[in-house]
Amino acid sequence: MTRQIILGMHLGNGYGALPGAWRAPGVDPTNYVSFDAKVRHGQAAERGKFHFLFLPDGPSLVADIENEPPHFNLDVMLTLAAVARETDRIGLIATGSTTFNAPYNLARQFKALDLMSHGRAGWNAVTSSGEDVAANYGARLPSSAERYGRAHETIQVVQALWGSWGREAWVHDQATGAFANADEIAPINLRGQFVGSRGPLYIPPSEQGQPVIVHAGGSPNGHELAGRFANAVIGAAFSIEDARAQRTAFRDAAERAGRDPDEIKYFPGLMTTIASDRRTALDRRIALTQRTFPQRAAYLMQILGLRTEAIRLDEPLSAAQLAAARPSPQDPRSAHALKIAREGWSLTDVLAHGVIDYHPVIVGPAIEAADHMQAWFEAGAADGFWISPDIYDDGIDAFVDGVVPILQERGLFHQDYAGSTLRDHLGAPAQYGVDPRAMR
Amino acid sequence: MTRQIILGMHLGNGYGALPGAWRAPGVDPTNYVSFDAKVRHGQAAERGKFHFLFLPDGPSLVADIENEPPHFNLDVMLTLAAVARETDRIGLIATGSTTFNAPYNLARQFKALDLMSHGRAGWNAVTSSGEDVAANYGARLPSSAERYGRAHETIQVVQALWGSWGREAWVHDQATGAFANADEIAPINLRGQFVGSRGPLYIPPSEQGQPVIVHAGGSPNGHELAGRFANAVIGAAFSIEDARAQRTAFRDAAERAGRDPDEIKYFPGLMTTIASDRRTALDRRIALTQRTFPQRAAYLMQILGLRTEAIRLDEPLSAAQLAAARPSPQDPRSAHALKIAREGWSLTDVLAHGVIDYHPVIVGPAIEAADHMQAWFEAGAADGFWISPDIYDDGIDAFVDGVVPILQERGLFHQDYAGSTLRDHLGAPAQYGVDPRAMR
C-alpha cells in the first residue's frame, strides 16, 4: 500500500487555536463548557476522515484569563467520552500526565475509553513540567530524571495492567455459566522506584486490544521514552529540516529499542486559516489575534535584530530595516519571518502570517496547506500532521471541504477509513500488555 | 410542601444486583462493557422519575470471577459521562475514593461532569478500605485515622477548588473582550497534613454551583464526615429500628457540625424482585442465585444456631429445627430469616426471599415494595431508598411500572421532577466552595 498522510485534529478549549476565536462572529462564547460543541467539532473532523482527535492537557490555569480562554478542555476524558458516543471511526487521543496520576487510575480510565469507543483510544503519555501544575497537586516539580524515570515505570505498569485481563479470559458463556477464566487473569506485581501496582485490572481487551501510546516532547529523554513505547509523536517543528531531524531522532530511538522505525509515526503541527485568498485569510487572522500584535511586534523586531522603537504596525519594514535585519539563530522562526517581511507586507500582515506562532501557519487558500503537507511528507519530514484550525466552528469545515479533497485527489490521503480502530488508522502493530522489547 | 420519598437507582456492572443476572434470558452477556446498556438503564430510571443514579466503585477486582461479573462499572466517570449526554433530569452520583485520588483530579473531573450534566453531579466521597485496593496503588492501606483525616482534607480542598473560580468570574463578553474577571479567580493555597493544592481550578460554576457531596459508611468516623459535608448518605440497614438509629446518628452529626439536620438525607438500600405474585418472584430469584444456595444455606443454619449436617434445600426446616432455632445477635438478618422459615417455605425458598442478602429484599408484587418503603419512611427510618433491582434490563422497568405508580397514588412520590439539578432533587441548600461551618 502506498504510504499516505495521517491527519489529527487538535481539540482544545472549544473555540479554536487563536486567542480571539471565542469572540468571533457566529461563535457561542459558552463553547468552553459546552460538550455539544466538542461533539460537533469531533464530528466535523470525522466527516473529513481525520485519523484522530488530539486533546492536549495541563492541569493548571495558564492563560491571560482576562482576555483569553484557558487552552484546554474542562476534562479531556469526559470530553472524549462524549465524543466517543457520538462518532464512529475517528481516533481519540487524550493527554494524561505520568507525573501526577496513579498508574492504576490511568490504566482503567484509558482502557474504559478504549472499550467505550470500540478501540479508538490513545494515551498521550507525557511528563508534567511547570511548578504551577505541581502546586495544584500540593507538590514540587520532581527533577527531569525523576519525571522520566517515573514516566517509564508508569507506562509499563499501565500496559501491564491492560494486559492483566488475558486476551481470551472473558468467556461470558451464559450456557455453561463461565463468566471468565481466572487462570488468564493475573496480578502484575510490578514495583519500580517510583510507582507500582499489584493488579489485575478488571477490563477485557478492546477491539484494538489496548490503547495506543503517544508521546509529545522533543528532548533526548522524550526520544528515549517514545522510542520504547510510542506509536505516534505529537511534534512541533518550523522547517522541513527540523522536522526531518526530529522524525529521524524518534525513528532512531525506536530502532535502538529493538523496534521497526515504521512503528513510530511523527506528526508535526500545522495551524490553518483557510480562505479563498490570502487577503481574506489575513484579515480573518488579524481579527482573531491583533490584540497580541503590539507585544508580538516587539518580539519580532528583537529576533530580527532590529530596534523596537517606533514600531509602525500598519507599515512594512523600511528598506533600511530589511537591509539591517539578521535572523536570530535562537528562534527557528526568524528566517521565515524575514522572508515574509521582505515580501512587503505591513508589520500587521507579517504577524498575521503567523510568523511567530507555535507551529507553521497556513494563511490562505486550501491548496497552500496541501502543498505544505505534500512537501514535508515527501521530504521525509512527517508521517502526517496535527491541525490546529483558527476557529473550530468553521475552521474545521474549511479544512475538510478545502484541503482534504485536494490531498485525496493527489492520492496523499485516504478516501475513507480503512479500519475501525486507532491502531488501524496509525498502522500500529498489534500489542497487548507490555511490549517485551520495552522491558529490556 | 409535604415530605416525599427520594429514590435512587443503583447502577453497577451492567447486569443487575444478583450474581446470575448476566446469564438471565434476554440479557446480553456483554453488558459489562456496553455503554449502550448503561445509558438504557439510566434512561429507564429517569422514565420512573428516579432522583438519582448511584454508582458504587472500588478499584479492585473482587468477584468470584469464574462465575460472576465484577460488581462495578469499567469506569464510573466515563459511564456517567455517557449517561449525562443521553438523559435530562436524573441525578448522577459516582463514588470516588478520597484515599487514592489527588484532590485536584477529583475536583476537575466531578466538576466537569457537573457542567456536562447541567448540574446533576454528586460525589460519593468515601475512604478506601481493603489491602487489595491499596495494593493496586502500590501502597499499604493507611490507618483508619489517617484515611478519615485525609478524607476531611480532601473534601475541603476539592470544594475550595470548586469555589476558586468565583461565581461571577466568567464574563465571556464578546463585545468588550472580557473573558473572565481575574480578581474573582483565586488560588486556594490549602495545605493539610495529608493533601494540599494551590489552585485555582479553571471551571466555572454549574447550574447547581458545584456537585453535591454524598457519603456511604456507618461508622462513627463516617457519621462525623457526613455530618460535616454530606447532603446524602447511601446506607444499609435491615430493620426500621436500625435504619432509624442510623438516620438519627447522621442527623445528630449534622447538628453537631452546626447544620440543619434536614440538610442530610439518609437512604437505606432495598433490593427488589418485582413480579405478579410471590411464587413467580421466588422462582425468578432462584434462577439468579441458586448457585450460591449450598453455601448460603450453611451460613443460614449457623446464624439460626442449627447444625449444618444434612441440609435439605428442597424441604422446609423441621418442627424440631424450628423449635431449636435461636437467631444470632451477631447477624441482624437472623430474626427475619427465622420468621420466613417459620412460614413453611423450603430452605431454597427461604434463601430466595433474600434473607441473607446485602439489604432488605422485596420478592413479590409491587405493592409489597411500596408498603415497605411507606412503613420505613413514615417511621422516620428513611428519607428515601436506593434500589438494587435483580436485573437491570427488566427489573428497573418492573419497578418503574409497578411500584412508582403506587407510591405516586399514595402521594409519597413526586409526579415529575420539580427542579433540574441534583441539589433540587435532594432539597440540598445552595453551596459554592467550602461551607464555612465545616471549616471550624
Strands (E), B83-192: 91-97, 121-126, 170-173, 178-180, 190-191
Q: Which of A74, A136, A203 is nearest residue B197 as measured by Cβ atoms?
A: A136
Which site among B43, B100, B105 would you substitute to test the A interface, given the most A Cβ atoms closer than 10 Å to its Cβ? B105
> Per-residue confidence at B1, pLDDT binned at 50, 70, 90?
low
Q: Which of A74, A78, A200 is nearest residue B61 as measured by Cβ atoms?
A: A200
Q: Which of B33, B109, B137 is nearest residue A104 as measured by Cβ atoms?
A: B137
Query: B230 vs A215, B125, B126, B234, B421, CA distance in Å?
Result: 40, 9, 11, 10, 16
A70 touches chain B (CB under 8 A): yes
Distance between CA atoms of A243 and A377, rounded to whole angstroms?
A: 10
Average pLDDT of the residues in B334-339: 96
Q: What CATH class does A6-274+365-439 carry?
A: alpha beta
Contact residues, chain B, for A75 at CB < 8 Å: 108-109, 112-113
Question: For the segment A194-235, what is each residue's pLDDT rounded down to a tens digit?
Answer: 999 999 999 999 999 999 999 998 899 999 999 999 999 999
Distance between CA atoms of A341 and A52, rounded to whole angstroms?
A: 35
- Collapsing DSSP to helix, strand or coil, B273 comes out as strand
A432 touches chain B (CB under 8 A): no
pLDDT > 80? residue A147 = yes
State chain A's mean pLDDT as an integer.
96
Does B81 contact A81 at a Cβ distance shorter than 8 Å? Answer: yes
Which residue positions of B form the known binding site?
57, 95, 148, 219
Share of chain A above pLDDT 90, in %: 95
pLDDT > 90? residue A29 = yes
State chain B's mean pLDDT as an integer.
96
Closest CA relative to residue A252, chosen from A231, A233, A224: A224
> Per-residue confidence at B438, pLDDT binned at 50, 70, 90?
confident
B29 touches chain A (CB under 8 A): yes
B38 touches chain A (CB under 8 A): no
Q: Which of A59, A70, A173 is nearest residue B104 as measured by Cβ atoms?
A: A59
B100 touches chain A (CB under 8 A): yes
Characterize A70-96 residue by residue with b for buried, 16 or more Cβ atoms within 10 angstroms of its Cβ, and e for exposed. bbbbbbbbbbbbbbbbbbebbbbbbbb
Q: Which of A60, A173, A203 is nearest residue B74 as measured by Cβ atoms?
A: A203
Which site among B66, B76, B291 would you substitute to test the A interface, given the most A Cβ atoms closer than 10 Å to its Cβ? B66
A322 touches chain B (CB under 8 A): no
Does A179 contact B102 at a Cβ distance shorter than 8 Å? Answer: no
B168 touches chain A (CB under 8 A): no
Task: Quote the minimal CA–CA distance from B408 to chain A in Å.
Answer: 34
Name the phi and psi angles at A271, rounded to 5.
Answer: -100, 145
ipTM for the complex?
A: 0.97
Contacts of A371 (CB under 8 A, 6+ apart): none
Name the helix (H) or strand (E) containing B186: none
Question: For the segment A296-327, what is each residue's pLDDT rounded down to a tens digit?
Answer: 999 999 999 999 887 999 999 999 999 999 99
Query: B205 vs A133, B2, B167, B169, CA distance in Å?
Result: 22, 30, 6, 9
Output the pLDDT for position A334.
95
A148 annotated binding-site participant: yes
A290 touches chain B (CB under 8 A): no
Question: For the segment B364-407, what is each residue's pLDDT rounded down to a tens digit?
Answer: 999 999 999 999 999 999 999 999 999 999 999 999 999 999 99
Query: B414 vs A249, B109, B144, B389, CA distance in Å?
Result: 65, 31, 40, 20
Does A23 contact B105 at a Cβ distance shorter than 8 Å? Answer: no
Does A178 contact B61 at a Cβ distance shorter than 8 Å? Answer: no
Task: Quote the minimal CA–CA distance from B309 to chain A in Å.
Answer: 28
Domain ranges of chain B: 6-274+365-439, 278-352
Name the phi and psi angles at B185, rounded to 5.
Answer: -120, 110
B136 touches chain A (CB under 8 A): yes
Which residue positions of B form the known binding site for FMN?
57, 95, 148, 219
Question: For the segment B322-332, what is each residue's pLDDT rounded down to a tens digit?
Answer: 999 999 999 99
Question: SS3 for chain A, per residue?
Answer: CCCCCEEEEECCCCCCCCCCHHHCCCCCCCHHHCHHHHHHHHHHHHHCCCCEEEECCCCCCCCCCCCCCCCCCCCHHHHHHHHHHCCCCCEEEEEEECCCCCHHHHHHHHHHHHHHCCCCEEEEEECCCCHHHHHHCCCCCCCHHHHHHHHHHHHHHHHHHHHHECCCCEEEECCCCEEECHHHECCCCEECCCCEECCCCCCCCECCECCEEEEECCCHHHHHHHHHHCCEEECCCCCHHHHHHHHHHHHHHHHHCCCCHHHCEEECEEEEEECCCHHHHHHHHHHHHHHHHHHHHHHHHHHCCCCCCCCCCCCCCCHHHHHHCCCCCCCCCHHHHHHHHHCCCCHHHHHHCCCCCCCCEEEECHHHHHHHHHHHHHCCCCCEEEEEECCHHHHHHHHHHHHHHHHHHCCCCCCCCCCCCHHHHHCCCCCCCCCHHHHC
Does A179 contact B65 at a Cβ distance shorter than 8 Å? Answer: yes
> Per-residue confidence at B150, pLDDT binned at 50, 70, 90?
very high
B117 touches chain A (CB under 8 A): no
Contact residues, chain B, for A31 at CB < 8 Å: none
Which site among A105, A128, A188, A201 would you substitute to test the B interface, given the most B Cβ atoms closer than 10 Å to its Cβ? A105
The number of CA neighbours under 13 Å toward the Cβ of B345 is 19
User: B residues 291-320 near A, CB within 8 Å?
Assistant: 291
DSSP annotation of B176: T
Average pLDDT of the residues in A283-288: 97
